[in-house]
Structure 1
Amino acid sequence: MRGFTLIETIVTIAIFALIMGVVSGFLVVGYRVQGYTFQQAVAIGEARKGVEIMVKEIREARPGDDGSYIIEKADNYEFIFYSDIDKDEATERVRYFIEGTNFKKGVIEPQGWPITYNPANENIVVLSQYVRNLPPIFHYYNGQGEELIDLPTRLKDTKLMKVYLVINIDPSRPPQNFELESAVQIRNLKTNL
């Protein structure tokens, strides 16, 4: 009689189970890595889109409808300015800021007569998640390209800005931080026409 003995059957099943375990392990690890990579790519894409929109809005900044100066606040992690971001001929108050690991945008529409910008009516949206900035997000420069450090001089002398975002879903595992940087010249403040 030909056939498998009990020992041969057990060894065959054990080898098959071991091979299936290894293959399953590779699949699980592969799906985890792919999922993490996909999340990182989505986060980077959101940040890129947010920076592109922000740069366009900052470039087109103008005085507020209430007579406010173009730049209201110029901090390392918060920037407030006025711009017609929705092309309705009304100038909105726009605020970009970091809250935790979320990079956000707040918009206030002008209201009433005399025109006011009521902070209670601010509409806030998240532009990008997983922002891990230790260095400042916003850098401010004068017309000669010198960085402005003092807050009071930032308001009156800023002509050029750099935006710097660091994106990483989980800093404890690869890939490393993804850095986005963009520069923008504020058209209504530039003097080198």
Structure 2
Amino acid sequence: MYKKERFKKGFTLIETLVAIGLFILGIQATVMVFSKTMKNKAYSLEMGKSSFVVSRSMGDLTQYMRRARQSDDGSYPIVSANDNDLVLYSDYDKDGKTERLHIYLTDGRVYMGIRRPSESFPPSYASGDETTIELARQIVNTATDPMFSYYNKDYPEDVINNPVDTPADTSEIRLIKIFLKINIDPNRAPDNIQQETFVELRNLNDYDRIH
């Protein structure tokens, strides 16, 4: 009797090429997933950093605005109040002198312009900002998301007339909301981080009693 010769079945050329192709596709998919994961982590990290900077800047602004007071030349504490532009007087650096602060949002960045009073007597304030500092960037507020909203003394009982229309009557303002939306990539709108805070202008109550 003849024994049947047994052959080990191997891969054909086509099967080998298919296997290699699948292996390469698997590697590419793994690389893409890894790359996307790393990009998401980097995005989240940068968003976290930007959010922290904005949060710190909002904290500083809150303190500056809370200390709003009559200027050194006797002018009312608030000069003008618009959606993305606020001018008021405050001793922001606690040097005993009242500076004029111009806080505004433009081109995705928040700035604060500063004008110090003159050294002459009586003191006066020149027009325009003397110095300007950047407080925050990567801001993506839209026309329907103003940086500032203003409320009168009747809020929160009166929600019909609050927030007040802008440009606001500065004599009516008693509370200001600061609202900012942050995103390092404006194309990823759903991922916006929102921060807001309310600032009570306490010194205006004293101003009302005196005047």
Normalized against structure 2, the TM-score is what?
0.77
Instruction: Identify the match of residue 116 of structure 1 among 115, 124, 132.
Output: 124
Following superposition, the deviation at residue 6 of structure 1 comes to: 8.2
Sequence identity percentage? 28
2-structure distance, mates of 1:6, 1:150: 78
1-structure distance, mates of 2:48, 2:142: 18
* Runs of 4+ deviating beyond 6 Å: none
Instruction: Identify the match of residue 75 of structure 1 among 72, 82, 85.
Output: 82
> What corresponds to 1:158 in structure 2?
173
Change (3 A) 1:104 1:129: farther
2-structure distance, mates of 1:169, 1:150: 29
2-structure distance, mates of 1:87, 1:187: 17
Following superposition, the deviation at residue 63 of structure 1 comes to: 1.2
Larger CA Rg, structure 1 vs 2? 2
1:89 aligns with 2:96: yes
Residue 124 of structure 2 aligns with an amino acid whose one-letter code is T
Change (3 A) 1:68 1:140: same
1-structure distance, mates of 2:25, 2:36: 17
Following superposition, the deviation at residue 94 of structure 1 comes to: 1.0
> What corresponds to 2:191 in structure 1?
176
Following superposition, the deviation at residue 28 of structure 1 comes to: 1.4
Q: How does 1:139-150 map to 2 (within 5 A)?
A: 139-145=149-155, 146=158, 147=162, 148-149=164-165
Paired residues of 2:111 and 2:132 also in contact (CA < 8 A): no
Following superposition, the deviation at residue 36 of structure 1 comes to: 1.9
> What corresponds to 2:4 in structure 1?
none
* SS at 1:151 equivalent: coil
Residue 125 of structure 2 aligns with an amino acid whose one-letter code is Y
1:134-171 superposed Cα distances (whole Å, 9 cap, x missing partner):
2222111111115222536x211211111122223334
2-structure distance, mates of 1:190, 1:22: 64
Q: How does 1:8-157 map to 2 (within 5 A)?
A: 13-114=20-121, 115-118=123-126, 119=128, 121-134=130-143, 135-145=145-155, 146=158, 147=162, 148-149=164-165, 151=167, 154-157=169-172
2-structure distance, mates of 1:150, 1:29: 44
> What corresponds to 1:190 in structure 2?
205
2-structure distance, mates of 1:32, 1:94: 39
Following superposition, the deviation at residue 61 of structure 1 comes to: 0.9
1:55-111 superposed Cα distances (whole Å, 9 cap, x missing partner):
111111111122221001111111111111111111111111011111211122223
Instruction: Compute the RMSD of aligned alpha carbons.
Output: 2.8
Following superposition, the deviation at residue 183 of structure 1 comes to: 0.9
Following superposition, the deviation at residue 10 of structure 1 comes to: 5.1
**Structure 2 unmatched runs, 5+:** 1-7
> What corresponds to 2:3 in structure 1?
none
